[in-house]
Amino acid sequence: MKKVVLFIALITFVVNAAMAKLDKNLKCTLTLLDGTTVSGYMVDYKTKTISDGPTHLHNMVSLKIASKPDGEGVEYSANDSKKLVIKTKEGDSEFLSAYIMKNSTRPKNMKHGKTKCFIAVIYKQKGVYGLVSEASDFITYRSFNDVVSSKISTITYLYCLEGDEVVIPYWNPSDKLTIGAKGGLRLCFERFPKVVEYIKSDEFSMKMMKSNPLNILDIVGAYK
């Protein structure tokens, strides 16, 4: 039950941030690459959109921290950071500073772009991190005799192992449960042969991803 409450709170936080509803004067602590920490108030931040195929992920890439809520602040980049913790009404929200895997590459290669992002952590068990990003996607549907594309707001789930600099997108709730969906999911976890075998087995169903996309990370923790 505690995991579900944390999950809902952090998802709400990420969506609110993406919709510019996040109060910029929240207390935060930033951990830099050399291990030093900077604490204060987040008085401003910048976001960037990174493409993951047809899906676009939107995340914070830098922020300004000041000693007081109305201060000018000093700007810090995700590229120079390890993690960020922001204090919200729901509790502490942790963001990992990481690269998002480059589109059209494979997890075994771990290729990435030049910019790190602060990505919200919603799962942390046995050295496995589950993260979530605000995203936008396009859905196509038929209206009378026309095929119409519409932009929607959604989220994307990502994962990494402790110590990884690259996070791998693995699930978008707007994805359709097509025949080939299992194949795409197996590719996302190709670094872990036992996880791939589990996804291929009758024990696993793509409907399980719809009900809780974080459960697959329990399997990664057990088999990695």
pLDDT tens string, the chain, 224 residues long: the values are 444 445 545 555 555 554 344 567 899 999 999 999 999 999 999 999 988 777 889 999 999 999 999 899 999 999 999 999 998 877 888 999 999 998 888 888 888 989 999 999 999 999 999 999 988 776 665 556 665 566 767 889 999 999 999 999 999 887 777 767 788 899 999 999 999 999 999 999 888 888 889 999 999 999 88
CB 206 within 8 A of CB 200: no
d(CA 30, CA 102): 25
Which 8-state DSSP code applies to residue 174? T
Where are the domains positioned within the chain? 2-175
State the number of CA atoms in the 13 A half-sphere of 208 facing the CB: 14
174-177 own/partner pairs: CB under 8 Å, 24+ apart = 174/137, 174/139, 177/206, 177/207, 177/210
Per-residue tokens: 139: 């859905």
Per-residue tokens: 216: 């697959």
144: left (phi over 0), alpha (psi -120 to 50) or beta: left
Hey, what amino acid is at 49?
T
